[in-house]
Chains A and B, each alone.
Chain A
Amino acid sequence: MHREFCRRGAWLLPLALAACDGPQSALDPAGHEAEAVSQLFWWMAGASLVLWVLVVGLSFYASRRREQPWPARRAARLILVCGALLPTLLLAALLVFGLRLMPVLRAPGDGLRVEVEGQQFWWRVRYVLPDGRRFETANEVRLPVGSRTEFLLTAQDVIHSFWIPSLGGKMDMIPGTTNRLVLEPTQTGRFRGACAEFCGASHALMAMSVEVMEPEAFTAWVEREAGAAAASTDEGAALFLARGCGACHTVRGTAAAGRVGPDLTHLGARPTIAAGILPNSPENIDRFIRETQAIKPAARMPSFGMLPPAESAAIATWLGSLR
C-alpha cells in the first residue's frame, strides 16, 4: 500500500511542475517585475524549506530522546533564541529584501502609457503614445521589449485585477480609482493575462492575449493599429451596421461608433477573440455572435442566434478580415 502510493506520487510529481513554465507563469519570468517576484518566491521557498527541515528534525529528535529534566535557564534561552530572536531576524531580512525590490517597480515608465479598464468580462485598452496620439483596442496588449510601459488601471463595473504573470503584477482594478503599474518585459514572445479578482459568472473567461515585440515590430503594429480598419465594404460590413452591431461596437473607418462594447477595428489581427478564450477564426467569431451567452454566461452582449446563419457568417468573415 505504502509503496503503491509512493509510485503514484512519483508519477504525479512532474505534473505539479508542469505549470511552472508556459505563457502564463510567474515562475517563468519574462519581465523585470516578474523576475523580482519570482526571485522573492524562490528565496522564501528555499528559506521555508530549511526552516521546515530544522523544525521537523528537532521534533523528531525530541521524540526519540530519552526524557530527562533540563535546567530552567537553558530552556528559557532556547525559547528566546528560537522563538523570538531567530524569527525576528529572518522576517526582518525578508522585509529588507522585499522593500529593496520596490523602488525599481515604482520607477516611472519610458513614455508609453496604456490605460486598461476592466469590464464584465473583457478589457478596454487605450494606448497613449509618447507623442500624444491615442487609439483604442480590446483584450490585447502588445509591448516593446526592453522598455518600461506604464499601465493605468481602473474598472467600469466591479473590481477586477490585472495580471500578466509572466511579466508582472498583479494590480487590482477598482471602479472610480486609478492604479498604476509599470511593466518592463525582457523577452519577446506571446503571453497570457487574466483577471485575478472574482468579478462575476464569467470571471474565469476573462483573459487577454499579450505579445512582447521587438521595438521596430511594435512601432509597425502601433502605426497599423492607430489607423482605421482596411474597410472593405462587402455584405458583412453592411449587415454589421444593419443588424445594429455598431450601436455598441466601434469599427473605425465605418459608421459603427458604439462605445458600449469592445472596439473591433482590427479584430482580425488579434490572436484570440472573446477576451482571450477562443482562437481567432471566422468560425469562432460566428459562434460567439450566435451563442454569446452560452460561451460567456452573463456577458453584457445578448446572443444573436436569431440572425439567419448566412448573415452571422458574413459578419464573422468581415470582422475576421479587419486587420
Chain B
Amino acid sequence: MLIRITWRRAILTLLVLAAGALLFAWSGIFNIAASGGHWAITNWVLHGVMRNSVRTHSLLVEAPPPLDDIALKARGAGHYASGCAPCHGAPGEPQNPIIQRSTPHPPDFSESLDDWTPKELFRIVQHGVRYTGMPAWIVPERRDEVWAMVAFLEALRDMEPEEYRRLAYGAEAPRQPPGSSAGIGGLGTPPAEVLADCARCHNRDGQGRDGAAFPVIAGQNEAYLLQALRAFADGSRHSGIMQPPAARAGDEALRALAAHYAAQPRQPVPQSFDPALLAEGERIARQGMPENQVPACLSCHGAEALARNPSWPRLDGQHAPYLEGQLALWREGLRGGGPYHRIMQTVASRLTPEQAHAVSAWFASQGGGE
C-alpha cells in the first residue's frame, strides 16, 4: 500500500517530529555525562568541523612576526605556565588526571602538539573554541600577546623539560616544585607568595629576563606601579597576560608589590643605538614638536617632573622595544592605564611610528641608575 505525500501530511509529520524532539529534550533522557565521552562518529564530525573552521578563519590572520624571538617565547611561556598548563600540561608536566576526564578533553601538550600552522594557532589562541572549554584571549585585540603565545607553542613541540622550566619560571624555577604549573590551582588561587608569581618573569629585582621580553620595573615610581597594577587587575589596562596575575593577587598584595619593586635599584639595560636616531629622539624628548601638538616628553617624564608627580612613570633605561611597543598600543587605542592615561593617549596618538622609534631609543639610552 502506498502512502500519498500531501502538503498536509508532510507538515503534520514535521510537527510531530519537532514535538517528539522537544519531549525528548524535556524528559532528560539524553545523557550529557562527560564520563562516557563522545561516540566515535560524533567526535569525528565535531573535530572535523572545528579543524575546518580554524583553517578557514586563519586565512584572514596577518603574517606572523619572527617567531623565534626569545623575548616572544619567554613572554608566552610565563603566561602558559599559569594560564594554559593547568589543562594542557607542559614538557615534563603531564596533563592533570582530572582534566583528562573532561569531554572533549584538551590535547595534552606534554605528549605532542598537532600540526597547526602558526596562523591557525593564532586563531585558536585569540578566539578560543566554542563547546570545548577553550577560552578566548582576554583581550583579543592584543595581537602582540597572542603572537607571543604562538611563538612559545611553536617552540614547545620539541622543548626539553629543563628549557620549559627556565622559560616559564625564570629564576624562580628552583623554588617551584616540579609539575606545579599543571596543578589546576594555577588558574585561581594566589600562590603562597605573590612575589614568586611576579618574579617568574620580572625577577625579584624587577629587571626581567630574556632580552626585552619583560619591562624593567625596578626603581619605578611606587604610585605609578600601583596604579598600573590596579589598572591591569580591573582590565582598564588591556593585557591578557598581566590581568590574571594582577587580578588574583588582591589589592593588599598589589600595594606590597609596588613598594617592593619601587625599592629595587634600577640597572641600566645594555643597548646600543645609532647616534642620529638618539639625536632625533632627544630633540623630541627635550623640545617636543609644538607644530604637531606634541609637548616635550621630559616635561612629564624628566627627573624634575617625576620628583613633582609620582604618578608619572620614569622611562630611562627601559627596553627600547618595550617603549616602542607601548607607544604603538597607545596609537591603536589599546593602552589603557591608571586615571591619568588619557593624557598620554592624547600625546602618543600624535607620534608617527618613526618618531616613536627615535624617542624610545633615546629614553632607553638614558641613565637607568638610581
Contacts and interface: CB of A to CB of B under 8 A. Distances in A.
Across the A-B interface, give the 8 residue pairs with the lowest CB-CB distance, nearest first. A247-B299, A247-B295, A306-B339, A259-B290, A242-B308, A302-B346, A242-B309, A244-B300
Given A302-B343, A303-B342, A260 B308 contact: no
Interface in B144-183: none
Interface string A287-309: 00000000000001111101000
B293 interface: yes
B312 interface: yes
Given A260-B290, A306-B340, A243 B309 contact: yes
B128 interface: no
A241 interface: yes
A46 B294 CA distance: 53
B294 A244 contact: no
Contacts of B294: 260
Interface of B: 288, 290-291, 293-296, 299-300, 305, 308-309, 312, 339-340, 342-343, 345-346
Contacts of A304: 343
Interface residues of A, number: 18
A45 B294 CA distance: 49
Contacts of A306: 339-340, 342
A243 B310 CA distance: 10
Nearest to B288: A260
A302 B345 contact: yes
A260 B288 CA distance: 9
Contacts of A260: 288, 290, 293-295
Contacts of B312: 244
A300 B300 contact: no
A321 interface: no
A246 B304 CA distance: 13
Contact of A244 (B288, B291, B293, B305): B305
A230 interface: no
Interface string A151-195: 000001000000000000000000000000000000000000000
Interface in A213-257: 238, 241-244, 246-248
A156 B345 contact: no
A247 B300 contact: yes
Contacts of B291: 156
B341 to A, nearest CB: 9
Given A259-B290, A260-B290, A302-B345, A247 B296 contact: yes
26 contacts: A238-B308, A242-B309, A244-B300, A244-B305, A244-B309, A244-B312, A244-B343, A247-B288, A247-B295, A247-B300, A248-B295, A258-B288, A258-B290, A258-B295, A259-B288, A259-B290, A260-B288, A260-B290, A260-B295, A300-B293, A302-B345, A302-B346, A303-B342, A306-B339, A306-B340, A306-B342
